[in-house]
Amino acid sequence: MLASPVCKKSFVFLTCLGLIAAQTPLYAASPQSHTASGPAPSASQVIDIALGTDGVLNGRAVDGNGNQLAAAPVEIHYGDQAVAHAVTDEDGKFSVSQLRGGLHRVVVQNHQAKLRLWTAGAAPPSAHQDVLIVAGDGIVRGELPAAGVGLAALGTGLAIAALIVALDTKSELDDLKAQNKAMDAQVQALWSAS
């Protein structure tokens, strides 16, 4: 027997733990709407936007991978009513005029961003000049394609660990049998000597 039983059992435990822990998926955060010059807010966060002259809102729409959304419909809602419509150009840019200040929702491909629009003279210094809308989920790196893959790997790992335990137990049993034979031989020798 080359290694102590404690060492072997520790190895089996750590192997099982490693196989289980390795299957924990790491998920990146889903893309959220954010302003072009600021950090990504949460989905419920309101973004302050300073309207241009004549109530102009400028923005750009991209998908979850950062590719511009050309010819995407854009709706601006005030309360429960759609107050303006636009379509993005080939660069994903859009512009809407004649908007008033207040809380608005911008909807691009079923994705919403909450905006607090400010008239040109009333905007706080922290207000942004335009908005970047990220629509859709895109590819989220670090996400496993299917949960079944992790379960299959976990099952395989547990089967390998069970095999290691069985082989280790058989090895220990063989060692005990050899020790028992040696002790029987010593007892026989002692009986013969007396």
Query: Does 40 fall in a domain?
Result: no
Query: Does 56 fall in a domain?
Result: yes
With a cut of 50, say whether residue 1 has pLDDT above it.
no
Q: Does residue 91 share a domain with residue 157?
A: no
pLDDT band at residue 41, thresholds of 50, 70 and 90? very low
The boundaries of the domain holding residue 178 are 10-25+148-193
Query: Does 2 fall in a domain?
Result: no
Token pair recorded at residue 184: 């029987």
Q: What is the pLDDT of residue 39?
A: 44
Instruction: Quote the number of domains for the chain.
Output: 2
Rounded to 10 degrees, the C-alpha dihedral 8/10/12/13 comes to: 160
How high is the mean pLDDT of the chain?
Answer: 77
Q: Does residue 102 share a domain with residue 54?
A: yes
Q: Does residue 57 share a domain with residue 121?
A: yes
With a cut of 70, say whether residue 174 has pLDDT above it.
yes
Q: What is the pLDDT of residue 165?
A: 75
Q: Does residue 176 share a domain with residue 128?
A: no
Token pair recorded at residue 46: 């309101």
Most confident of 22-31, 80-89, 140-149, 168-177: 80-89
Q: What is the pLDDT of residue 8?
A: 67
Q: Does residue 73 share a domain with residue 16?
A: no
Query: Does 89 fall in a domain?
Result: yes
Cα Dmax for the chain: 118
Query: Does 101 fall in a domain?
Result: yes
- Lowest average pLDDT, out of 40-44, 67-71, 175-179, goes to 40-44
- For 107-160, the pLDDT digits (tens) are 998 888 899 999 978 888 888 899 888 887 654 454 445 555 566 666 777 777
Domain containing residue 76: CATH number: 2.60.40.10
Q: Which of 85, 110, 135 is the last residue of a domain?
A: 135
Which helix H or strand E contains 133, and what residues bound it?
Answer: strand 130-135
| Cβ proximity of 107 and 61 under 8 Å | no
With a cut of 50, say whether residue 95 has pLDDT above it.
yes
